[in-house]
């Protein structure tokens, strides 16, 4: 298959092809789209992450291109409570611009907010950040990546001085003698990744999985640790405690390449395995076996994902696992280290180029005067005109429509009505806005609340770049033009900027050509931690991906980080002493069970897209509540019975799925469905104090037969 193929039209045939990547998760599987007439076929493509594999979601991704629910005309609502009706682009954009100006005039510039998404291309994420800071001049922008990777990002920055999900290519997993997956279920979230695990197994490697559920991934493990949700941090500290007791710490590495170990050593001294067994339920023997498996081999990798991260102590939990890897001398050693499995398609690039409340492009901090000067120069505005940091996603959404919060919100590539924690409250906040604008290609649950809906292009209709879970910048290639009536997000931003800045000339800072935006992004990122200056469009085409940092177009890219030093001021990685603390909400007599959330194979994120794909809907038609047979017996519930899961914030109703795969003290529900089965009606909105990531993975509930 042609790796660098552009969209091609074969002479004499109506068919076209584009070598591109899946629109969904951060594995960014390579695929070829082939069009015959209006029919678009998906073919797998050899790429280092998927190695020719695709999951059901990727195979069926093209079904949405011509889906009957596809939006092809803007929609506006004339009055609250009224219906959305079709409108011209001019009417819709005028309505948005007028609404923004009215809110700004009355409440000030910070009264308009922007909410982005981890699926947007690098160019869109960059343009959205610039639009917020330059066209709107608001400090309020954040994105749904806060829900996914922000705790690992914060922990990585603190420890290593940089946040790149995997600091090595994914293929390194296949060479690890021991691989520890913490709160990760790639067998369901990114199945082609299992090809790398198969490699690892074929070479005699060991797989250990930490998960409160016996997931499809855990079933393949040599050892499954099944801790109580919210106790991963204690497990990590116990593993380091054992490594210290057994003399397995790499003292030369710790002395030469790290700082802060003494305090960590003192802290983990108190994490006696027997006590951690009582706390977490993980047997001492399994803790010991895990520590031994990591410490007594040449190559070991620890990966965390949402199970470890989506907690009010998510940053500290990840830090505990990073501490373990540093003590064992793993980061920077070939085939070894720590990494985070990024979830959303552009979760990595989306957090590098300015969608985050505290960030400017290139992973620069918005409160850093030198960073502001650099980016302001690229943008052609005075640095003092750039707003300061905003607030993380949940705080932003929870303030909407309140006396002190924004009164208008523009949403791009996100569906917080389903995906936000404590979702009923966020839904009510959205209803309180003076103006809600949603750019999407389907009527998502959030679009249903909007005053204006702007129909935008899909992944196969636009060019751009994405940055996958390895920090590899990829080309998304358009197969065909968007349908009549549909515009790209970049065109929407340009048109709005022109209206807001007074005439067509005002939109000049917002090019609609993705390549032009990428060129500007390269300049804006130059010299920053996520330096794309040397990642040229042509180079990405030629090499089918380039790893950042890459400061020089003629110099090498960086598939592996930390070989010689860490990008911290002194070149050393930093330990952080962290201690276990209970979940934000304890179980009680009224709410005696733990509730945790996650995904299923055939659905993706809020499900706005995948719930509309026939094959995926057939495979996973409804939400469900998974509970252990012992618990089901106690409650008098049998398979398929409708149950209510009730927390202090709300309830969900869904059929029971009785399974020994889950702990008897915990119930699970996937979060892809709206309405009665909405898992986020129940979840807790407690957030990590450093990352702002909500505690999706544990709260207290009771379960009843409905």
- Residues within the interface to ligand SF4 (CB under 6 A): 22, 24-25, 27-29, 50, 54-55, 57-58, 190-192
For helices 232-245 and 273-280, angle between their N-to-C axes, nearest 10 degrees: 160
Considering the complex, what minimum distance in angstroms separates the CB of residue 30 from ligand SF4?
A: 9
How far is it, in rounded angstroms, from Cα 119 to Cα 560?
Answer: 24
| Cβ nearer to ligand SF4, comparing 156 with 191 | 191
Considering the complex, what minimum distance in angstroms separates the CB of residue 187 from ligand SF4?
A: 11
Q: Report DSSP state, residue 583.
A: -
Considering the complex, what minimum distance in angstroms separates the CB of residue 22 from ligand SF4?
A: 3
Q: Which candidate, 480, 514, 184, 479, places its Cα nearest to that of 339?
A: 184
| Cβ nearer to ligand SF4, comparing 24 with 412 | 24
Is residue 674 exposed (0-12), middle (13-18) or buried (19+ Cβ within 10 Å)? buried
| Cβ nearer to ligand SF4, comparing 52 with 485 | 52
| Cβ nearer to ligand SF4, comparing 24 with 321 | 24
**H/E segment holding residue 100:** helix 89-107
Considering the complex, what minimum distance in angstroms separates the CB of residue 64 from ligand SF4?
A: 13
| Cβ nearer to ligand SF4, comparing 236 with 305 | 305
Considering the complex, what minimum distance in angstroms separates the CB of residue 58 from ligand SF4?
A: 2
Residue with tokens 């960014």: 28
Phi and psi at residue 687, in whole multiples of 5°? -125, 160
- Nearest to ligand SF4 by Cβ — which residue? 58
| Cβ nearer to ligand SF4, comparing 363 with 604 | 604
Considering the complex, what minimum distance in angstroms separates the CB of residue 192 from ligand SF4?
A: 5
Phi and psi at residue 382, in whole multiples of 5°? -65, 140
How far is it, in rounded angstroms, from Cα 116 to Cα 456?
Answer: 14
Token duo for residue 50: 């998927």
How far is it, in rounded angstroms, from Cα 442 to Cα 68?
Answer: 10
Considering the complex, what minimum distance in angstroms separates the CB of residue 55 from ligand SF4?
A: 3
| Cβ nearer to ligand SF4, comparing 191 with 514 | 191
| Cβ nearer to ligand SF4, comparing 611 with 663 | 611
535 and 522 Cβ atoms separated by less than 8 Å: yes
Residues whose CB is less than 8 angstroms from the CB of residue 643 and which lie 6 or more positions away in sequence, other chains included? 625, 627, 635, 637, 653, 654, 655, 656, 703, 704, 705, 706
Considering the complex, what minimum distance in angstroms separates the CB of residue 49 from ligand SF4?
A: 8
Give the three-class secondary structure for 61. helix
Considering the complex, what minimum distance in angstroms separates the CB of residue 57 from ligand SF4?
A: 4
Please state whether 116 falls in left (phi above 0), alpha (psi between -120 and 50) or beta.
beta
Token duo for residue 211: 């998960």
Give the three-class secondary structure for 398. helix
| Cβ nearer to ligand SF4, comparing 55 with 378 | 55
Token duo for residue 496: 């709005």
Token duo for residue 97: 């611009």
């Amino acid at each position: 298959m042609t790796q660098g193929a552009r969209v091609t039209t074969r002479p004499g045939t109506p068919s076209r092809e584009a070598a591109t990547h899946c629109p969904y998760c951060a594995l960014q599987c390579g695929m070829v789209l082939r069009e015959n007439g209006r029919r678009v076929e998906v073919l797998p493509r050899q790429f280092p992450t998927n190695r020719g594999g695709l999951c059901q979601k990727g195979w069926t991704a093209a079904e949405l291109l011509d889906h009957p629910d596809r939006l092809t005309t803007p929609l506006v609502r004339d009055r609250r409570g009224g219906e959305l009706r079709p409108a011209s682009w001019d009417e819709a954009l005028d309505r948005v611009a007028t609404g923004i100006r009215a809110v700004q005039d009355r409440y000030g510039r910070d009264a308009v907010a922007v909410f982005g998404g981890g699926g947007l291309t690098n160019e869109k994420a960059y343009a959205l950040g610039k639009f917020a800071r330059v066209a709107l001049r608001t400090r309020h922008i954040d994105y749904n990546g806060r829900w996914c990777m922000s705790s690992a990002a914060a922990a990585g920055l603190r420890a290593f001085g940089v946040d790149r999900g995997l600091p090595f290519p994914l293929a390194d997993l296949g060479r690890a003698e021991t691989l520890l997956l913490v709160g990760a279920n790639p067998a369901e979230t990114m199945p082609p990744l299992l090809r790398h695990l198969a490699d690892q197994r074929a070479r005699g490697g060991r797989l250990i999985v930490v998960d409160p559920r016996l997931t499809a991934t855990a079933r393949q493990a040599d050892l499954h640790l099944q801790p109580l949700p919210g106790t991963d941090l204690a497990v990590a500290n116990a593993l380091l405690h054992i490594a210290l007791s057994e003399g397995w710490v790499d003292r030369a590495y710790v002395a030469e390449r790290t700082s802060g170990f003494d305090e960590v050593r003192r802290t983990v001294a108190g994490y006696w395995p027997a006590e951690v067994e009582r706390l977490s339920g993980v047997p001492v023997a399994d803790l010991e076996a895990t520590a031994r498996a990591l410490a007594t081999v040449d190559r070991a990798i620890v990966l965390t994902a949402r199970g470890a991260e989506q907690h009010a102590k998510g940053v500290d939990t990840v830090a505990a696992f990073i501490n373990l890897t540093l003590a064992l001398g793993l980061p920077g050693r070939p085939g070894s280290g720590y990494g985070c499995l990024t979830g959303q398609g552009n979760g990595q690039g989306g957090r590098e180029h300015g969608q985050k409340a505290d960030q400017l492009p290139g992973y620069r901090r918005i409160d850093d005067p030198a960073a502001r000067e650099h980016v302001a120069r690229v943008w052609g505005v005075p640095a003092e005109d750039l707003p300061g940091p905003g607030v993380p996603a949940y705080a932003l959404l929870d303030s909407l429509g309140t006396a002190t919060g924004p009164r208008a919100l523009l949403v791009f590539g996100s569906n917080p009505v389903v995906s936000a924690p404590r979702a009923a409250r966020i839904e009510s906040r959205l209803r309180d806005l003076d103006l809600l604008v949603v750019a999407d290609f389907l009527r998502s649950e959030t679009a249903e609340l909007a005053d204006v809906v702007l129909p935008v292009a899909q992944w196969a209709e636009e060019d751009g770049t994405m940055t996958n879970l390895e920090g590899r910048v990829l080309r998304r290639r358009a197969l065909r033009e968007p349908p009549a009536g549909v515009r790209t997000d970049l065109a929407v931003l340009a048109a709005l900027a022109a209206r807001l800045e007074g005439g067509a000339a005002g939109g000049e800072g917002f090019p609609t050509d993705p390549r032009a935006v990428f060129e500007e992004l390269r300049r804006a990122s130059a010299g920053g931690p996520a330096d794309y200056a040397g990642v040229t469009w042509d180079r990405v085409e030629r090499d089918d991906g380039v790893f950042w940092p890459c400061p020089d177009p003629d110099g090498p890219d960086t598939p592996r980080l930390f070989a010689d030093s860490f990008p911290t001021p002194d070149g050393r990685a930093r330990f952080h002493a962290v201690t276990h603390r209970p979940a934000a909400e304890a179980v009680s007599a009224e709410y005696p069970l733990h509730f945790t959330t996650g995904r299923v194979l055939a659905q993706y994120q809020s499900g706005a897209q995948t719930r509309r794909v026939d094959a995926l809907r057939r495979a996973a038609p409804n939400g469900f509540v998974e509970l252990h047979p012992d618990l089901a017996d106690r409650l008098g519930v049998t398979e398929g019975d409708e149950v209510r899961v009730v927390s202090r914030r709300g309830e969900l109703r869904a059929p029971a799925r009785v399974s020994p795969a889950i702990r008897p003290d915990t119930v699970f529900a996937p979060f892809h469905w709206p309405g009665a089965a909405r898992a986020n009606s129940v979840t807790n909105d407690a957030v990590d104090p450093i990352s702002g990531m909500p505690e999706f993975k544990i709260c207290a509930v009771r379960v009843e037969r409905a």
